[in-house]
Chain A
Amino acid sequence: MDQITLRVARYRPDDEETEPVLVDYDVPLRPDWAVLDGLNYIKDELDGTLSYRWSCRMGICGSCGMMVDGEPKLTCATFLVDLAPGPVRIEPLANFPVIRDLIVDLTDFMHKLSSVKPWLIRQDEQPVEDGEYLQTPAQLDEFKQFSMCINCMLCYAACPVYGLDGSFVGPAAIALAHRYDLDSRDEGDRQRLTILAQPDGVWDCTFVGECSTACPKGVDPAGAIQQAKLAAAQEAMKSLLLPWRSR
């Protein structure tokens, strides 16, 4: 059977390694195998100590993101035949600290996600007996694209602004904030815009646009950030012209 070489970054601090090294593994090149299947083959057959994250194998959980030949990719959705003849370079997601092998630390991203309050904010909660907050299909369409995010962080790995300055809130978090701002059931726009207008918020973005190119779900975080900039600027103008309106 045909083989393909996976050139995998290994970082084993337990073995006194101070920086990652690339190790070659030959795996079967099968037409139905994604990069993740190749990694699973290494783990099962060649070297059980290889560490990486995955779960759903179907582009839903967002845990299998890695750099494949230098590009941020979901390894379960990137097929080996498309990368033949290889060798295929597999490294941990760029711009994040590496814990071990292909595993990066997510803590920073988790903090950023919650910092933009990605949940429905209401001035008055409607009692449960009154039922759900209703929404028309048109209202759903307003934000649906931005709700498709699977938190895979490929956009952060593609973003040079985040790479240069880790304090930037970043694409997915802003896209998610924008998703709630556009939701007809939500009343938290101003709270979130205040957060996003701060230093390290939307204005750090220089519209490189690579986040949207990298996104496997068509979320277009770059578009969301520019729309949020526009909304933040309008809000600032309003409170300048109508100061009594702001609380």
Chain B
Amino acid sequence: MISPLEARYYRRRMPLLWWAHRRSYAIFVLRELSSAFVALFIVELLLLVRATARGPAAYESFLDTMAHPAMIVLNLIALAFVLLHAITFANLTPRAMIVRLRGRRVPSRVVLAGVYAGWLLVTAFLAWLLVAA
């Protein structure tokens, strides 16, 4: 039950395009959207694994599909979104996670540097795998 006083309150509603009214909100929505592209990369990876398992012919046809200009454009857009996702995610880590070493709090700059160092290490390892192959 609302009182007669409350009945006279003026209640505002968020506009449907609330995220278009503010830069920070728009960037947030882009970041949310980037999850779809992360999912796309995973699906592509799974398809690659499946094609590899099915033998050389399936593998070649997968490569052909991926070499199509439209696929390349899509993947470039996806890459941009995945990078946005990864970088914003990494930058938020120190705020979400308090790291302690020997009972002392590790400064957030150091945590952030650790995240990027880890990322670099994994990337270097993958690059080495590719080159070595």
Residues of A within 8 A of B (CB): 11, 13, 19-20, 94-95, 97-99, 105, 141, 160, 163-164, 206-210, 213, 220, 222-223, 226-227, 229-230
By a CB distance below 8 angstroms, the chain A residues around B97 are 226-227, 230
By a CB distance below 8 angstroms, the chain B residues around A230 are 96-97
Per DSSP, chain B at the interface is: helix
Q: Please state if B18 and A160 are interface contacts (CB–CB under 8 Å).
A: yes
18 contacts between A and B (CB under 8 A): A11-B10, A13-B8, A97-B11, A98-B12, A160-B18, A160-B25, A160-B28, A163-B14, A206-B32, A209-B24, A220-B95, A222-B95, A223-B95, A226-B95, A226-B97, A227-B95, A229-B96, A230-B97
A164 CA to B25 CA in the complex, in Å?
13
Residue of B nearest to A99 (CB): B9
Residue of B nearest to A206 (CB): B32
Tally of chain B residues near chain A (CB < 8 A) = 20
Q: Does B53 contact A (CB under 8 A)?
A: no
Known: A160-B25, A209-B28, A227-B98. A105 touches B14 (CB 8 A): no
A-B contact count (CB 8 A): 59
Known: A160-B19, A160-B25, A163-B18. A20 touches B10 (CB 8 A): yes
How far apart are A183's CB and chain B's nearest CB, in angstroms?
Answer: 15
In the A-B complex, the 8 residue pairs with the closest CB atoms = A226-B96, A223-B95, A97-B9, A13-B8, A98-B10, A163-B14, A208-B28, A97-B11
A95 CA to B19 CA in the complex, in Å?
15
Q: Please state if A227 and B96 are interface contacts (CB–CB under 8 Å).
A: yes
By a CB distance below 8 angstroms, the chain B residues around A222 are 95
By a CB distance below 8 angstroms, the chain A residues around B133 are none
Which residue of B10, B24, B105 is within 8 Å of A97 (Cβ)? Answer: B10
Q: Does B132 contact A (CB under 8 A)?
A: no
How far apart are A90's CB and chain B's nearest CB, in angstroms?
Answer: 15
Residue of B nearest to A207 (CB): B92
Query: What are the interface flags for B97-126 relative to A under an 8 Å C-beta threshold, 1 for contact and 0 otherwise?
Result: 110000001000000000000000000000
By a CB distance below 8 angstroms, the chain B residues around A213 are 24
Known: A11-B10, A163-B18, A208-B28. A226 touches B98 (CB 8 A): no
By a CB distance below 8 angstroms, the chain A residues around B8 are 13
A163 CA to B5 CA in the complex, in Å?
22
How far apart are A89's CB and chain B's nearest CB, in angstroms?
Answer: 14
By a CB distance below 8 angstroms, the chain B residues around A207 are 92
Interface residues of B in 2-54 (CB under 8 A from A): 5-6, 8-12, 14, 18-19, 24-25, 28, 32
A34 CA to B92 CA in the complex, in Å?
34
A227 CA to B19 CA in the complex, in Å?
25
By a CB distance below 8 angstroms, the chain B residues around A227 are 95-98
Which residue of B5, B6, B9, B25 is within 8 Å of A210 (Cβ)? Answer: B25
A97 CA to B2 CA in the complex, in Å?
13
Q: Please state if B95 and A98 are interface contacts (CB–CB under 8 Å).
A: no
By a CB distance below 8 angstroms, the chain B residues around A220 are 95
Which residue of B10, B14, B28 is within 8 Å of A164 (Cβ)? Answer: B14
Residue of B nearest to A18 (CB): B10
